[in-house]
Structure 1
Amino acid sequence: MDFKVLDSDARTYRIDEAVAVLRAARKETEVRRRWLPWLCAYSGMRIEEAGQLTAEDFFQVGERWFLRVSTSGRRSLKTASSQRRIPIHPSLEAEGLLDFVRKVGKGRLFKSNRIQPLMSEWVRDTVGIKRPELSPNHGWRHFFEDLCALANMSDAARDFMTGRASGKSRDQYGRSELMLPGLAKAMDKIPDIIGLLMAEAEGGDQV
């Protein structure tokens, strides 16, 4: 089968698969497996972008936390529009992401070697999601965009958060710090459906 011609809904995570991966990640002690699925699910970052994050990329404006996707420190990004700032979704705060970042304190959050194959192998072999058309890494990007659509997020906010270029002036959305509160409000429209489903699943496990 030529997976290149598959629709994005075939390559993205189904809701039960997303819940399974994030539940498995919650039990991990290896930091890449612990945090990369959660970061990608609630930010739309490419796995390589998330894997290059440093503690210094996280910053606060008022009471709200953001992360910076940039090329500083000799990091590479797919396109110029990939440089952006993303509000931290409340689900990531509740999960303890910022505590992890504070604990690292300085420098890279993750070992950068073999991130793509490492995460793909973990999803396939450890979590046990064998569906061949699923893209274990890039599937989170489609999943986040589906969450944005569910929340009726504006195209401008979604495109900025995911680093997609439309070729229009709105590509500059969020470049000014004045726009960060607006981005945070857009992010907050995304419901914590994963958290609710995980709670339901864990409750069922206890019966």
Structure 2
Amino acid sequence: MKAMLQNVRTVMNWGRQSDPANFFPAGNPLKGIKAPDYTTLPSYLRAFTMDEAKLVLAAARKEEKPMFRWIPWLCAYSGMRVSEAGSLRKEDFFQVGDRWFWKVTTVGNRSLKTASSERRIPVHKTLADEGLLDFVKAAKPGRLFKGDTKDAVLIQPRISTWVRGLIPFDKRPELSPNHGWRHLFEDLCTRDHVPEDARNYMTGRTGGGSQELYGRSEVMLPGLAAAMDRIEAIPI
């Protein structure tokens, strides 16, 4: 912000020097203006607490609309972005041996935040026990989470509004209703000693090294599933 303000101030000064009679003749209006102080909220404040996670997941169990029933659970046990979960299709789920996974992919004209966001995530046993795979198998081909009248819907604001109906803003203004699952999942990974490279892969995070885009064949999937199995279920 400070650099941007300085750049604008420089342009204004240049304009004043070139034509002081017509270009802000009263003087540079930015003179004396300081950039606002900026601090980021700590990750733990934006994350769901365990009690909040239990509240939301228990409420989701009672929902009939698929996006509210399953997206909170998918995000809680993967750390995926709500927008990524909202774009999932039946065809993204696949089986290797006796284990199920799903793909977070750009296939089908979908977009992802970064190249490292392309990944495959093991289905946590808790999701299978909840009936996720039964829901996927029974679904029609294409998008799993649709609007009432069209396939393309804005998932993020709907999920955010739904969560805020359970956890009002005035009680927890710092909470990120959509991104908070990512922070919680990463904390669960740390608690349960999930290897850092597996955690980073499953959440689609990257340190910027080109090597992170290699070595993503099916050979890695059993080890990835074993890493996911380390995460203990959220008791509800």
TM-score norm. by structure 2 comes to 0.78
Q: Is the contact between residue 173 and residue 179 of structure 1 (CA under 8 Å) also seen in structure 2?
A: no
Structure 1 stretch displaced more, 105-114 or 92-101: 105-114
Q: Which residue of 2 aligns with 1:148?
A: 189
In the alignment of these two chains, the number of paired residues is 193
Distance 1:21 1:173, change over 3 A: farther
CA shift digits 1:174-198 (9 cap, x unpaired): 6110110000000000011x1x3x1
Hey, what does 1:186 align to over in structure 2?
227
Residue 37 of structure 1 is matched in structure 2 by: 72
Report if aligned partners of 1:57, 1:68 keep a CA contact under 8 Å in 2: yes
Q: Give yes or no for contact 1:81–1:165 (8 Å, CA) kept in 2.
A: yes
Percentage of identical aligned residues? 61
Letter in 2 for 1:87: P
Call closer, same or farther: CA 1:20–1:96 in 2, change over 3 Å. same
Structure 2 match to 1:9: 44
Deviation at 1:167, TM superposition (A): 2.6
CA distance in 2, matches of 1:41, 1:4: 27
* 1:132 lines up with 2:173 in the alignment: yes
Corresponding residue of 2:28: none
**CA distances 1:97-149 after superposition (whole Å, capped 9, x unpaired):** 00000111411001241211111111112x23431110000000101101100
Q: Secondary structure at the match of 2:48?
A: coil
* 8 Å Cα contact 1:160-1:173 kept in structure 2: no
- Cα root mean square deviation, aligned: 1.6
Q: Which of 61, 79, 84 is the aligned partner of 1:49? A: 84
Q: Which amino acid aligns with 1:11?
A: R
- 1:91 aligns with one of 126, 130, 134: 126
Residue identity opposite 1:48 in structure 2: S
Question: Which structure would you say has the larger Rg?
Answer: 2
Partner of 1:113: 153
By how many angstroms is 1:168 displaced? Answer: 3.4
Moved runs in structure 1, 4+ residues, more than 3 A? none
Q: Distance in 1 between matches of 2:155 and 2:131?
A: 21
The AA in structure 1 aligned to 2:230 is K
Alignment partner of 1:159 out of 200, 206, 210? 200
